[in-house]
Structure 1
Amino acid sequence: MRTYEAIGAIETFGLVFILEACDAMCKAANVELVGYENVASGYISVIVQGDVAACQSAVEAGIAAVEKMGANIYSSVVIASPHGDLNKMIDRYQLGDFLPVEEGDA
């Protein structure tokens, strides 16, 4: 069973805002994007993993990016040393394997 030092998550409304949040989160700290979920009616949550300080910095950066665009963050959390059973929920959010972009395709 996989465990993480920490996980961080935010929830906002709309794909454009969550993309901006994810970009800010991944640029602000050494975190890995676990995945996202369109929760309901446009509410989207995103989860990152990393060490506690990195997740905290990432979540703060994601919140700031969304608020700078004039949108609202509906919830956010950083969980240090998450219990192993949370993997049952986190695995649901895992991003699928994407084909790598070949040079010249982009």
Structure 2
Amino acid sequence: MKAIGMIETRGLTAAIEALDSMAKAANVSLVDLKRVGSGLVTVIIEGDVAAVTAAVEVGKTAHTMTGGELVSANVIPRPHSELRKIL
């Protein structure tokens, strides 16, 4: 089972910058980009645990290139199968 990583930013540009940096840093793929509301955007990636962890660490600093704000970041190493239903 693949790990899931999430980065939530305030602003679409910051989220896209984080996603670009994460995809370049490790072998991960985009699962979804969700616009939550009030300017919050969540990027969800997947891959093996080490790749997702490395990508999220890179993404946590990449948003600063656009002046965006990091709201939250998380890695779920072995997500429960029920979690896939809401993604």
Instruction: State the TM-score, normalizing by the size of structure 2.
Output: 0.93
Cα root mean square deviation, aligned: 1.1
Cα separation, 2, equivalents of 1:65 and 1:41: 21
More relative contact order in 1 or in 2 (CA 8 Å, sep 6+)?
2
Indicate yes or no: 2:24 matched with 1:27: yes
Give unmatched runs, 5+ long, in structure 2: none
Cα separation, 2, equivalents of 1:72 and 1:64: 10
Q: How does 1:50-69 map to 2 (within 5 A)?
A: 50-69=47-66
Cα separation, 1, equivalents of 2:74 and 2:23: 16
State the aligned residue count.
87
Identity of aligned residues (%): 48
Give unmatched runs, 5+ long, in structure 1: 91-106
Looking at CA atoms only, which structure, 1 or 2, has the larger radius of gyration?
1
Question: Do the aligned residues in 1 keep the contact of 2:9 with 2:40 (CA within 8 Å)?
Answer: yes
Question: Do the aligned residues in 1 keep the contact of 2:56 with 2:73 (CA within 8 Å)?
Answer: yes
Return the offset for 1:69. Answer: 3.4
